[in-house]
Amino acid sequence: MASPTKKMQYVRLGNSGLKVSKIILGCMTYGSPEWQKWVLSEEEGIKHIKFAYDQGIQSFDTANVYSNGLSEIILGKAIKQLKLPRDEIVVMTKLYEAERWNTGNRQKVCGSISYFQTPAEHPLLHRVEEIAKKKGVGMAQISVAWSLSKDGVSAPIVGTTSLKNLEEMIDAIHIKLTEEEVKYLEEPYCPVPIAGHN
């Protein structure tokens, strides 16, 4: 599956027979900047998909509502243009009710605390920053490394509008957290009720 230049690793998705790359490319940010300014154009999106595939990512996540469906179309175009092997790649898509997504507000659709708070305001973020500094890596990389340290997580879906950030996320699969670091990160976490599934 991986060429010698690719540094990606592959895992089984849960108990299924499906193999996915340890990083899944989220395609929510590919569509039309005319829809929302945080969305990349088709050309940029295909550039990201090519970069991701060249780095060994063969699993892609999209939905019918990202840029009102353009994200799915762009991923389809990229598969054709780049001649991605259909028997190798994994494409995940989802069907949503369009009205729930009409907001197009990235902050509203993305529940990450990083959108709302800084490390000084949230002890958990402060600890992520502390461990990131200690290891000389980015905070986003620590979050990927933490996700991958959990038995219930096969492969996180990552989203970005920056190739540099994407490369960082891919590199994060090689960061190993010690048991103490995982415990330290989790200490200030308060579980929140599941939202959006009723």
Closest approach, Cβ 160 to ligand NAP, in A, equals: 3
Q: Toward ligand NAP, which CB reaches closer, 56 or 159?
A: 159
70 belongs to the binding site for ligand NAP (CB under 6 A): no
Which listed range, 26-34, 119-127, 128-136, 179-187, lies at the site for ligand NAP (CB under 6 A)? 26-34
39 near 67, Cβ under 8 Å? yes
- How many positions of this chain bind ligand NAP (CB under 6 A)? 19
Closest approach, Cβ 92 to ligand NAP, in A, equals: 8
Question: Which position among 8, 58, 138, 175 is part of the footprint of ligand NAP (CB under 6 A)?
Answer: 138
157 belongs to the binding site for ligand NAP (CB under 6 A): yes
Is 139 in a helix, a strand, or coil?
helix
CA–CA separation, 50 and 120 (whole Å):
37
CA–CA separation, 142 and 149 (whole Å):
10
Task: Name the CA radius of gyration of the chain, rounded.
Answer: 17
CA–CA separation, 100 and 87 (whole Å):
33
Question: Which position among 11, 73, 140, 153 is part of the footprint of ligand NAP (CB under 6 A)?
Answer: 140
Closest approach, Cβ 180 to ligand NAP, in A, equals: 24
Between vectors from CA 111 to CA 98 and to CA 190, what angle results, nearest 5°?
Answer: 140
Residues that are catalytic = 66
Amino acid at site 105: N
Closest approach, Cβ 90 to ligand NAP, in A, equals: 13
169 belongs to the binding site for ligand NAP (CB under 6 A): yes
Token duo for residue 150: 């959990």
171 belongs to the binding site for ligand NAP (CB under 6 A): no
Residue 40 carries which DSSP code? B
